[in-house]
Amino acid sequence: MDSLLAGIALATQGTTLLYLMLGVLLGLWFGAIPGLGGVTAMILVLPFTFGMEPQAAFALLLGALAVSTTSDTISSVMLGIPGTIASQATVLDGHPMAKQGRVLTAFGAAFTVSAIGGVIGGIALAISLPIMTWLVLTFGAPEFFVLSLIGLVMVGGVSGNAIGKGIAAGALGLLLSQIGYPVAASDPRYWFDQMFLIDGLPLVPVVIGLFGIPEMMQLGTSGGALASQRFEKAEDDSLMAGVRAALANRWLAMRCSVLGTYVGMLPGLGASVVDWLAYGHGVQSAKDRSQFGKGDVRGVIAPEAANNATLGGSLIPTLAFGIPGSGAMAILLGAMTIHGLVPGPAMLQQHLPLTLSMVVCIILANIVGAGALMLWSKQVARAAFIDGNLVVPAVFVFLVMGSWIGQPEILTLVALLVIGLLGFALHAAGWPRPPLILGFVLGPVMENSLAITAQAYTLTEVLSRPSILILIALLLLIFIGAARAIAKRRNDFKIEIGASASRGSLMLSLALGIGCIALFVWAFDQAQEWSFLSRVFPMAICSVGAVVALGCAVQDFRTLRRYQPTGAEDTLAGFWRHHRREVLIFVIFAVTIALVPVLGLAGAMLAFTALYLLGWGRFGWLTAVLYTAGVGAFLYVVYHRMLHVPFVPPFFLS
């Protein structure tokens, strides 16, 4: 108790509070921009922590990080693009709520449970400090593998009525994660002699490309605002409606907050999977699942409560063992080194007041961040009713720059477009996209855990571990629950609500199934010549993926044979007419990327912005000039001056 009071005193000092508020402001801003997030904000402020008192430095860093998983809700809800990896699941119901004009309700619920999650996560962390260090040491490679399997079983919870297609998409994501060097061998896989792929596909272009590019294609062709005009004056949309919904589902929020805390402490998983686990729990614990994927507020509450509680848990392996479970924790570890602090038992003994002050900072940052966003949410919500063609240019620039930051080369932007086209095809065919992301994120974790387990343990040793038995029992319970839901047709909700069944969508779905079969067979054949540890995991993926994709293709073929058209437009030609403008938008995006080596990165972005507004959006010259000038100023100030992003120069200056 003495250490806790000392920690509270350290966190609430005038200077420390000032730096905490500054970190909160930066975190809110960076979290709201797709592709940036709290890690980028921490990188930006880290040099300024030299010479600062330790508690003030950590307050600045943790303030920037803690609220980024609150403000990333803005792009997830408004644009259908995950602001950070921790807000992927929020897209599933948050964005449909925005399209229904219920933006304030989504924000009210999300910001309320974000504050609750941050507070519960911090309190659970403080209470659990004596036992959580033991728990972290208990989890080894076998436990990580089974826990990842639990995450994949949750594919059933995020695939709605397309379980088979969800599993096939998850297998495709796992296969994409196998590109590059394996964890247990020195020969790269599936890299096509391209150095860009030798370390694997970068995460950011995959995440924001899969969701962001298709959403911008759709928004650019809708000819109106993000939200449907018939919902614009909905009387039931308000912040208080969201707050009431959060309080009505308070037990769900609390359960997901505790889940976020204890999953967050596991290095390598944390925020990358906890929102999916929370969303799957929200679906499986609901009596009525019919509205999930269509704008169910519980689909926002569950992941947002969990992802804000994750930070507290992730501090444990970082402080107790010096094991950073994420990029953000690696930066925090660097800050500790700068200030002469050594992670280990000393942080939980001699420096316990400083450790607890970090917990207090996380709690305060979550409360302040949620409160600030509550105050600004009405202004943000108005963007749902402006012309979509005013939104597309700026968001496309954010998508490009967010991808470019992590790996600044042209092939990164090509990957963004290719993944975006794949996301569009999956959406149009009714295949759920979230399982692909989940598989892509979990693939390296699962392979690493499998390789270590195979080399260090026998089967008897694995099955004799109490933690493994508990996790296997949990896995079986989740699997049985998902199977019963399928048998009783309780998985009647639909994730890809924009994809209406038609002859064209069924034919595209059949083509995707056949394409997946061919890809899995080819990848299986390629893997046969590799060493055992290099081939075992991709071959297992391909075996399961090919069988499931074959089942999906057979089902689509049978459906097509007995399908009855609903009208003259329900033909392949009608399907093309429905989507051709979206394809044209994609061509515009592709031409823009192709012009980057000619005009330079900044030049291509500015040319795209101006020409899109004038040509596609039909706006006046004054609007185009002012808008383009604003984009140029943002590129210069934020990306060039603040983040020092290397820009490709025009060909005549290179």
Of the given ranges (77-81, 200-204, 484-488), which has the lowest mean pLDDT? Answer: 484-488
CA-nearest of 64, 71, 69, 55 to 6 is 55
Q: Are 97 and 106 in contact (CB under 8 A)?
A: yes
- Which of 385, 320, 376 is CA-nearest to residue 347? 320
Tokens for 566, please give them. 């609903």
Which string of DSSP letters, residue by residue, matches 333-382?
HHHHHHTT---SGGGGTTTHHHHHHHHHHHHHHHHHHHHHHHHHHHHHHG
Judged by average pLDDT, the poorest of 26-35, 413-422, 589-598 is 26-35
Whole-angstrom Cα distance, residue 324 to residue 599? 40
- Residue of higher predicted confidence among 68 and 635: 635
CA 635 to chain centre: 24
Average pLDDT over residues 228-251: 73
- Please tell me the predicted confidence (pLDDT) of residue 135: 63
DSSP class per residue in 462-523 = HHT-HHHHHHHHHHHHHHHHHHHHHHTT-----S-TT----HHHHHHHHHHHHHHHHHHHHH
Which of 106-115, 120-129, 281-290 is predicted most confidently?
106-115
Distance CA 524, CA 526 (A): 5
Burial class (CB in 10 A: 0-12, 13-18, 19+), 549: buried
Does residue 105 surpass a pLDDT of 70? yes
Q: Which pLDDT score, from 0 to 100, does residue 269 have?
A: 60
Give the per-residue pLDDT at 154: 64
Q: What percentage of the chain exceeds 70 in pLDDT? A: 85
Rounded distance between C-alpha atoms, residue 54 and residue 216, angstroms:
43
The pLDDT confidence band at residue 501, using thresholds 50, 70 and 90, is: low
Report whether 98 contacts 384 (CB < 8 A). Answer: yes
Least confident among 168-182, 252-266, 268-282, 519-533: 268-282
φ, ψ for residue 428, nearest 5 deg = -65, -25
Q: Please compute the mean of the pLDDT values over residues 81-91 and round it to a whole number.
A: 75
Q: What pLDDT, on the 0 to 100 scale, is given for residue 235?
A: 63
Look at 306 and 607; give whichever has higher pLDDT: 607
Over residues 589-602, mean pLDDT:
93
Q: DSSP letter for 243, please.
A: H
The residue ranking higher by pLDDT, 605 or 398, is 605
Instruction: Please choose, from the candidates 625, 623, 644, 626, the residue with its C-alpha nearest in 3D space to the C-alpha of residue 635.
Output: 644
Crossing angle between the packed helical segments 601-611 and 388-406, to the nearest 10 degrees: 170
Structure tokens at 302: 């569950």
Residues 407, 39 contacting (CB under 8 angstroms): no
Domain contains 622: no
Residue 252: beta bridge partners?
A: none
Task: Look at residue 474 and tell me if it is in a domain.
Answer: yes
The closest alpha carbon to 152, from 434, 426, 540, belongs to 434
Q: Are 379 and 78 in contact (CB under 8 A)?
A: no
- How is residue 295 annotated by DSSP? T
User: Which DSSP string corresponds to 395-462?
Assistant: HHHHHHHHHHHHS-SHHHHHHHHHHHHHHHHHHHHT--SHHHHHHHHHHHHHHHHHHHHHHH--HHHH
Mean residue pLDDT across the chain: 81
Instruction: Quote the pLDDT of residue 321.
Output: 65
Beta bridge partners of 180: 189
- The residue that leads in pLDDT, 82 or 566, is 82
* Segment (H or E) for 220: helix 203-222
In three state form, how does the secondary structure of 564-588 look?
A: CCCCCCCCHHHHHHHHHHHHHHHHH
Sign of the CA dihedral with 297 first, then 300, 305, and 308 last: negative
Instruction: Supply 200's token pair.
Output: 């694997």
pLDDT of residue 597: 92
Query: How far, CA to CA in Å, does 332 sit from each of 42, 63, 160, 164, 322?
Result: 8, 12, 38, 41, 10
Largest CA distance in the chain: 76
Q: What is the pLDDT of residue 545?
A: 92
Count of alpha carbons within 13 angstroms of residue 502, beta-carbon side: 21
| Cβ contact 176:504 at 8 Å | no
- Structural domain contains residue 223: yes
Task: Quote the radius of gyration of the chain (alpha carbons, Å).
Answer: 24
For residue 583, tell me if it sits in a domain.
Answer: no
Kindly list the distances between the CA atom of residue 187 and the CA atoms of 171, 449, 533, in Å, as whole numbers in the listed order. 22, 19, 11
The residues pairing with 189 across neighbouring beta strands, listed in sequence order, are: 180
- The number of CA neighbours under 13 Å toward the Cβ of 621 is 0
Contacts of 231 by beta carbon, 8 Å cutoff, 6+ apart: 100, 101, 102, 237
Question: Is residue 623 assigned to a domain?
Answer: no
Asked, for residue 617, whether it belongs to a domain, the answer is: no
d(CA 333, CA 330): 5
**Burial classification of residue 628, based on how many CB atoms lie within 10 Å of its CB (0-12 exposed, 13-18 middle, 19 or more buried):** buried
Instruction: Give the model confidence (pLDDT) of 244-278 as tens digits.
Output: 888 888 888 888 888 887 777 766 566 667 777 88
Residue 144 is predicted with a pLDDT of 77
Instruction: Name the β-bridge partners of 225.
Output: 387
Residues 227 and 99: beta-carbon distance below 8 Å: yes
- Name the domain count of the chain: 1
Give one word for 268, left, alpha or beta, with left for phi > 0 and alpha for psi -120 to 50.
Answer: left
Instruction: Write out the DSSP string of 535-551.
Output: HHHHHHHHHHHHHHHHH
User: What percent of the chain has a predicted confidence (pLDDT) above 90?
Assistant: 16
Given pLDDT bands bounded at 50, 70 and 90, which one contains residue 567?
Answer: low
pLDDT of residue 635: 92
Least confident of 232-236, 348-352, 406-410, 650-654: 232-236
Which helix (H) or strand (E) element contains residue 277? helix 271-284
Within 10 A of 589 (CB to CB), how many other CB atoms are there?
25
- Start-to-end C-alpha separation, the chain: 62
pLDDT-wise least confident of 151-155, 167-171, 315-319:
151-155
Per-residue pLDDT at 351 exceeds 80:
no
**Residue 127 domain flag:** yes
pLDDT at 367: 86
Position with higher pLDDT, 15 vs 597: 597
pLDDT at 514 exceeding the cut of 70: yes
- Mean pLDDT for 145-150 is 78
Report whether 450 contacts 140 (CB < 8 A): no
Q: Which residue has the higher pLDDT, 620 or 495?
A: 620
3-state SS, residue 317: helix
| 598 domain residue, yes or no | no
Q: Where are the alpha helices (DSSP H) in 12-154?
A: 14-32, 37-45, 54-66, 68-78, 90-99, 103-138, 141-153
Q: How sure is the predictor about 231, in pLDDT bands with cuts at 50, 70 and 90?
A: very low
Q: Model-level pTM? A: 0.75
Query: Has residue 172 got a pLDDT over 90?
Result: yes
Would the pLDDT of 492 be above 70?
no
Confidence category of residue 487, pLDDT binned at 50, 70, 90: low
| Residue of 451, 513, 537, 536 whose CA lies nearest to 177 | 537
Domain with 125, as residue range(s), is 10-561
Compute the CA torsion angle 103, 104, 106, 107 (nearest 10 deg): 120
